[in-house]
Amino acid sequence: MFKASLRTFLAHKGRMALSTLAVLLGVAFVSGTLVFSDTIDLAFAGIAGSTAADVTVKPKQAFTPEVEDRGLSGEVPTLPASVVAKVAAVPGVRAAHGQVSLQNLTVVDKDDKAVGPTTGAPTLGQNWYDDPQVHLVQGHAPTSAGEIVLDRASVRHKGLRLGDTLHVLTPAGSLPGTLVGVVDYTSGNPGVTMAYVDTATAQRALLGKPDRFTGITVDTAPGTGHLAAQRAIKAALGDGYSVATKEEQAQTAAQQISSFLGVVTTALLGFAGLAVLVGIFLILNTFSMLVAQRTRELGLLRALGAGRGQVLRAVLTEALLLGVLGSTLGLAAGIGLAAGLTSLISGFGVDLSGTALVISPVTPVAAYAVGVVVTLVAAYLPARRASRIPPMAALREAAVPPAPRLVRRTVLGAVLLVAGLGLLYGAATHHATLVTAAGLLGGGIVTSLVALVVLGPTLSRVVVYGLGAPFPALFGAVGRMSRLNAVRNPRRTGATAGALMISLSLVGAVAVLAASLTTSVNRDVDNTFGADYVLSGNGATPIGHEVTAKVAAVPGVVAVTRQRYAVAHLNGYQLVVSGVDVATVDRAVKPQYVAGSTANVAAGELMVDQTTATADRLTIGSTVELHFLNGNTGTLTVGAISKPPAGAGKDGGSWEVSLDTLSRFAPEAQDFTLYLTTAPGTDRKALDAALAPYPQVTVQSQADYKKAVTGQVDTVLYLVYALLALAIVIAVLGVVNTLALSVIERTREIGLLRAVGTSRGQVGRMVRLESVLIAVHGALLGLGLGLAWGVAGQRVLTLYGITALSIPWATILAVLVGAAVAGLAAAVLPAAKAARTRVLTAIAAG
């Protein structure tokens, strides 16, 4: 039986090619994601570990802020320069270096163009001291004010030369200088720009605090272990400092990198799982059709003595061979994909030359588990059906199988559909808590999806037959036959359309949510954007007082509303508190209050948004105790509650106080956003000219702001579409596969049609029309389901300020047209094969 399975697999390898391709693509996505994430993880962890000092001393903070919030306030914890001498005097310390390290700065050239990376990586500033990981490749080290050293990658990228004029811009001010040296790194550059100046200049111009450092790096003496040195330094300094060994720093960096990569990897694996799910439908259809075409062959095996279990195992053996082959090719393709992505990352300035691809034992195990298990699961039902073929089937002529009875399946699907729609309705109308609404939404999505998969055969009879109603009038007998062929086997049509339905349902849902978010934000901007311009730094970078003074002096600017941020903790979770100019904030941003007013904020009270107030059970008069990053603690009274901003959740909601109140608890907070009100007729050119030396500052009018938000949403939307593209491609391959096997199955029928006068063009047209019907059927079901998910999701997200429902009808229509085009493309090869069928050979086929 194994020999029979192997010969059958090899005999039908052409018919299984697309199924193998489906497994290959799914496994490649999974294995490529794992290899790429493991490689990046090892590379960055290696860089962090190799660049860390033996022991590092830093000021102790009340808590460690999230990575994305580190630069919001501009607060930089420091320690006195006198601590360096104390550390240097500790036994076992060979050398102690005071370090000034900042990341909220910008380097510009003589043309006021930013020198920093374009990938979103930060530009870091640091004082120069002897570091074995940093070595000069050109010029000399900075020794006095005005001398600047940059990393080699940034110098090459901008085409800089020694002697070129540079400016370093920080929230504390700007530093003019000249490029005097170029450095490279022993462990590689993770894509950041590094700027070095002498220690005195770093303290005065970059940090704005003479005789202070942000940390101390320690080189241990020979024979002294890192842990021993750590204990000795802790004993000498007391509890006011954080002392970490090289190994602890590497572990912390690895945890941060793994945390970020974990989110990305999980998202990518989710899309990979979707592609694998869609592939199941393709494999299921392949084996179902192959079993149907081999009825006589399998009946003959039974007649020769093969038991049901042997036939079942024989078909599953073929599936196993398919899974192993697809997994092997997919694993190789995934490794190639990871290599390509790594090269792409290197092209953006991230030096990964010293890191080989990491293929952990988990990767091949996951690749074969996904490929083989998925194939066996998909092939089980056809295999079980094959085992029930009676021996007498070998003596019968092949005939069209009777139409399946779908009563029980229809009833089950209808019940599930009603339950799914009920859960979606509950999610859309339940606004008490986000957790409950999200649970109802998730249950409704899963249940409704399963319902339409179960109802697939029944719906294919109704929907496809209805879609094909105009075909007889438009295409005559060919249109009538294509319509009947599409519903001849409802299970096959339902499974083929189901694969496309799953992919496009997510497209529809994401499109609705994206359109609703954009509309909600635009509506909020119209209602709250009272200023003429808003100024912000690129990334999480404060603007600083120098820029504020510059724009305030621009002719025509009548009011500058400042906004600053400080990071704080409340009840175990992190939040960001903003401080605003209460004298002009009503005009600049027009707060929408549910209770209280700006007067309460001006009086030293706290304003929170409605969603946050509900989540934390806050009301007017409630008190909250906020623990700030610098160690200060503030007890504030809630005096105002506002409407939630669009797209903001509990962690990203509004916690707002006056600038005076914020300065009491976070005096080092820098101006982060500026809202400018100008006199009528003011020309923007003067504002742009004043800000020309500050490329890190973005100026946006109301229209610019809307465009930027729309652009961000569109970027995420296109990324999701790109990740969904693989599942859609596999679904289209399913249409190709179904049509190709259907043409083989109907060889004799096509020969008879040709014998009675049907032309080759008519035969090809019949197959193409059938393909279009299946593709559009799947698109209609998917988009209808996606619209239901999107509408329910939007109603749930009203808790997050997404209050406007927007249906992107243009996108929906474009997807339907695209599905029809995909159906035509999928039919090209099957239609050509059908049209080339030889009449006599086809009629002779049994």
Instruction: List, for residues 739-758, the tens digit of each pLDDT value.
Output: 877 777 777 788 888 888 88
pLDDT at 226: 92
291-332, pLDDT tens digit by residue?
776 777 777 777 777 778 887 888 888 888 888 999 999 999
Mean pLDDT of 679-689: 88
One-letter amino acid at 827 equals A
CA distances from 291 to 263, 274, 299, 323, 742 (A): 42, 26, 11, 18, 13
Mean pLDDT of 199-221: 90
Which residue's structure tokens are 């990198």?
A: 257
- In the predicted model, is pLDDT for residue 131 greater than 80? yes
In order, the DSSP letters of 76-97 are ---EETHHHHHHHTSTTEEEEE
Of 200, 185, 55, nearest to 127 by C-alpha is 200
Largest distance between two CA atoms of the chain? 103
- In the predicted model, is pLDDT for residue 629 greater than 60? yes
Residue 624 CA to residue 628 CA, distance in Å, equals 13
CB 673 within 8 A of CB 535: yes
Cβ-based neighbours of 375, under 8 Å, separated by 6 or more: 19, 23, 283, 319, 320, 322, 323, 326
pLDDT at 338: 87
Residue 750 CA to residue 834 CA, distance in Å, equals 7
Burial grade of 805 (CB within 10 A; 0-12, 13-18, 19 or more):
middle
The rounded percent of the chain whose pLDDT value lies above 70 is 89
Mean pLDDT of 634-642: 93
688-738, pLDDT tens digit by residue?
999 988 888 889 988 888 888 888 888 888 888 888 888 888 888 888 878
pLDDT at 398: 47
Mean pLDDT of 164-184: 88
pLDDT at 649: 47
- In the predicted model, is pLDDT for residue 651 greater than 50? no
Of 207, 253, 241, nearest to 84 by C-alpha is 241
In which band, very low, low, confident or very high, does the pLDDT at 247 lie, cut at 50, 70 and 90?
Answer: confident
Task: Tell me the CB-side half-sphere exposure of residue 371, using CA atoms within 13 A.
Answer: 33
β-strand partners of 169: 106, 174
Task: Tell me the CB-side half-sphere exposure of residue 186, using CA atoms within 13 A.
Answer: 11
- DSSP label of 114: B
Q: Which residue has the higher pLDDT, 264 or 58?
A: 58
Residue 76 CA to residue 216 CA, distance in Å, equals 14
Residue 666 CA to residue 516 CA, distance in Å, equals 37
Q: Which conformational region is residue 801 in: left (phi greater than 0), alpha (psi within -120 to 50 degrees), or beta?
A: left
Mean pLDDT of 783-805: 89
Mean pLDDT of 443-459: 92
418-437, pLDDT tens digit by residue?
999 999 999 888 765 677 88
Q: Which residue has the higher pLDDT, 506 or 394?
A: 506
Mean pLDDT of 367-391: 83
Token duo for residue 573:
């979770």
pLDDT at 607: 95
φ, ψ (nearest 5 deg) of residue 447: -65, -45
Rg (CA), the chain: 33
φ, ψ (nearest 5 deg) of residue 8: -65, -40
- In the predicted model, is pLDDT for residue 650 greater than 50? no
In which band, very low, low, confident or very high, does the pLDDT at 590 lie, cut at 50, 70 and 90?
Answer: confident
Mean pLDDT of 146-171: 90
CB atoms within 10 A of CB 466: 12
pLDDT at 776: 93
φ, ψ (nearest 5 deg) of residue 63: -160, 165
CB 575 within 8 A of CB 629: no
Q: pTM for the complete prediction? A: 0.77
Residue 726 CA to residue 806 CA, distance in Å, equals 27
In which band, very low, low, confident or very high, does the pLDDT at 189 lie, cut at 50, 70 and 90?
Answer: low
The rounded percent of the chain whose pLDDT value lies above 90 is 34
In which band, very low, low, confident or very high, does the pLDDT at 671 lie, cut at 50, 70 and 90?
Answer: confident
Residue 367 CA to residue 35 CA, distance in Å, equals 11
Token duo for residue 821:
């085009």
- In the predicted model, is pLDDT for residue 801 greater than 90? no
In which band, very low, low, confident or very high, does the pLDDT at 665 lie, cut at 50, 70 and 90?
Answer: very high
Q: Which residue has the higher pLDDT, 186 or 825?
A: 825
In which band, very low, low, confident or very high, does the pLDDT at 118 lie, cut at 50, 70 and 90?
Answer: low
Number of helices (H), then strands (E), belonging to the chain: the values are 28, 24
Mean pLDDT of 799-826: 89
- In the predicted model, is pLDDT for residue 43 greater than 80? no
Find the range with the poorest average confidence among 30-34, 251-255, 483-487.
251-255
- In the predicted model, is pLDDT for residue 449 greater than 80? yes
Q: Which conformational region is residue 161 in: left (phi greater than 0), alpha (psi within -120 to 50 degrees), or beta?
A: beta
In which band, very low, low, confident or very high, does the pLDDT at 77 lie, cut at 50, 70 and 90?
Answer: confident
**Average pLDDT taken over every residue of the chain:** 84
- In the predicted model, is pLDDT for residue 366 greater than 80? yes
Find the range with the poorest average confidence among 86-100, 526-540, 586-600, 687-701.
526-540
517-562, pLDDT tens digit by residue?
889 888 888 888 888 999 988 766 788 788 899 999 999 999 999 9
Mean pLDDT of 232-260: 84
- In the predicted model, is pLDDT for residue 845 greater than 80? no
Residue 264 CA to residue 270 CA, distance in Å, equals 10
CB atoms within 10 A of CB 538: 13
β pairing state of 633-642 and 606-609: parallel
3-state secondary structure 419-431: HHHHHHHHHHHCC
CB 656 within 8 A of CB 597: no
pLDDT at 197: 95
